Amino acid sequence: MKKMRLGLSMRYHGYHVAAWRHPDYVPGCNVDFRSYRDIARAAEAEKLDMIFFADGVAVRGTDQPEGALSHDMRNAELEPLTLLSAIAATTDHIGLVATASTTYNEPFHIARKYASLDHISGGRAGWNVVTSWSDQEALNFNKTENLPREERYARAAEFVQVAKGLWDSWDADAFTYDKDSGQFYDPAKMHVLDHHGAFFNVRGPLNSCRTPQGRPLIVQAGASNQGRDIAAQHADVVYTVSQTVEEARSFYADLKARAAEFDRIDNAPLIMPGITIYTGATQEEAQARFDELQALIDPLAGLNILYTFCGDLSGYDLDGPVPEHIFEDKITIGSGLLAKAKAENLTIRQLYESTAAGFTGRYIIGTAETVVDDLQHWFETGAADGFNICPPLLPQGMDDMSRYILPELRRRGLFRTEYEGETLRQNLGLS
Ligand SMILES: Cc1cc2nc3c(=O)[nH]c(=O)nc-3n(C[C@H](O)[C@H](O)[C@H](O)COP(=O)(O)O)c2cc1C
């Protein structure tokens, strides 16, 4: 029976905007290695495929409405590759995936760092390829504004091609370490990339051996046509933010069809929509956990989340309708939000409340049975190969997975009881 793939998204210790105001949130955990380590180990004890850190290279929030920025927990975190390198040393099986920007990095740096993480972890590294979308990031990299989308994606496409080329610098058996002859490597098995393109000139080769996974896993997150094309050609896993099963099925079908155009039929990318789960022993308990966090939402923080996707809505009645114009020219991931606002006739307050509950992603409130019914439905009807679990609050959200969700998934034969392989690629069943 086909098994569901499951990852744990760990950023900010929670995907509820008010996670940090919860009584159980430990101040300082955002920069406390031991806290991340313990959550990663708990996820590994449950045989999850991977942990994931999303990332940005700036304080990306804007102080809109005024004062909002200082109410936002997303201002201080650890650099994810450094963090994953440390976690690699204290875990043995779980996949280690982090975002790195193609807009504000050089391919050689990224290829080298992820190759190193793949070696350090014994074949568990994954790179979430993103294009950076904020002007705040531009300001940290000698620019006054972000690159236009077309250019960002053209750069991203070439960036991935170069990184893959660098990872192919060496055959697996290139390094002979032949002490008798004095030859360290076989020159016939070293390949100089010598790339010349619109954005990058990179000679190579990479100063590393071929990595345990052949190359680190490539994950892609970005829903536009350009993003999907990169995913179809290069990604092993795709993260999405689909809100409804119909939207997810259409994305799934589209991406698998695009992958087929690159002759990727059996090895098409695995698609893992994000989901935030509120659960408990009973429906009432699950609802109470949700309500407890919702009651902690600061309206300033709520409007601030919407600002990224919709612009400044502070001039509108919070209990009035969401204005129509806001999604024009906005990034694609915002369009699902508008669809939801329209379909459910939401007010601005309701939109930010529903957005705050999963940082714009989909959320669900229910017992193990109802949550797993939902996941199974998506999994078995062509909407998902698995899920990127984005808990409302950590480590509590991982405890809830262990106590409620994973036993039910296993009871139905939907999730593994042991890791099947040594590397992330093997555990995901990828070639
Ligand atoms: C599920 C998902 C996860 C993402 N994670 C990150 C991230 O960690 N860091 C980042 O800078 N951008 C992230 N992005 C943003 C995308 O890379 C991209 O810039 C954005 O979605 C706009 O492009 P699009 O119109 O193709 O969606 C993410 C997007 C999605 C859909």
Task: Please give the residue range of the domain that contains residue 148.
Answer: 5-284+360-427
Report pLDDT digits (tens) over 334-358.
Answer: 666 777 788 888 899 998 888 888 7
Q: With 90 as the cut, is the pLDDT of residue 94 above it? A: yes
Q: With 70 as the cut, is the pLDDT of residue 429 above it? A: yes
> What is the predicted pLDDT for the residue at 354?
83
* CA separation, residue 51 to residues 93, 96, 277, 355, 378 (Å): 11, 5, 16, 23, 21
Q: Which atom of ligand 1 is nearest to the CA of 137?
A: 11
> What is the predicted pLDDT for the residue at 274?
96
More confident residue, 313 or 384: 384
Number of C-beta neighbours around residue 284 at 10 A: 10
**Do the domain assignments include residue 195?**
yes
**Do the domain assignments include residue 323?**
no
Residue nearest ligand 1's atom 17 by CA: 130
- Please tell me the least confidently modeled range out of 65-69, 116-120, 187-191, 209-213: 65-69
Is 132 close to ligand 1, i.e. is its CB under 6 Å away?
yes
Nearest to 318 by CA among 334, 303, 329: 303
**Do the domain assignments include residue 90?**
yes
Strand (E) or helix (H) holding 308 = helix 299-310
Is 358 close to ligand 1, i.e. is its CB under 6 Å away?
no
Pocket mutation for ligand 1, best pick of 275, 333, 360, 390 (most atoms within 8 Å of C-beta): 333
- CA 255 to CA 231: how far, in whole Å? 8
Nearest to 348 by CA among 319, 308, 328: 319
**Do the domain assignments include residue 140?**
yes
Q: Residue 321's pLDDT band (boundaries 50, 70, 90)?
A: confident
Taking the centre of ligand 1 as the mean of its atom positions, its distance from the CA of residue 227, in whole angstroms, is 9
Kindly state the percentage of the chain with pLDDT values over 90. Answer: 84
**Do the domain assignments include residue 312?**
no
**Do the domain assignments include residue 327?**
no
Residue nearest ligand 1's atom 13 by CA: 130
Tokens at 96, concatenated:
């280690």
Q: Residue 333's pLDDT band (boundaries 50, 70, 90)?
A: low
Question: Which of 320-330 are b and which e, b meaning 16 or more Cβ less than 10 Å from the residue's Cβ?
Answer: eebeeebbeee
DSSP secondary structure string, 35-46? HHHHHHHHHHHT
| DSSP single-letter state for residue 405 | I
**Do the domain assignments include residue 346?**
no
Number of domains in the chain: 1
- Please tell me the least confidently modeled range out of 58-62, 150-154, 188-192, 250-254: 58-62
Q: Which long-range contacts (CB under 8 A, 24 or more apart) does 243-247 make?
A: 243/336, 243/337, 243/339, 243/340, 243/362, 244/339, 245/377, 245/378, 245/381, 245/383, 247/336, 247/339
**Do the domain assignments include residue 294?**
no
Q: Which atom of ligand 1 is nearest to the CA of 11?
A: 8
Average pLDDT over all residues of the chain = 94
Task: For residue 94, give the CATH number of its domain.
Answer: 3.20.20.30
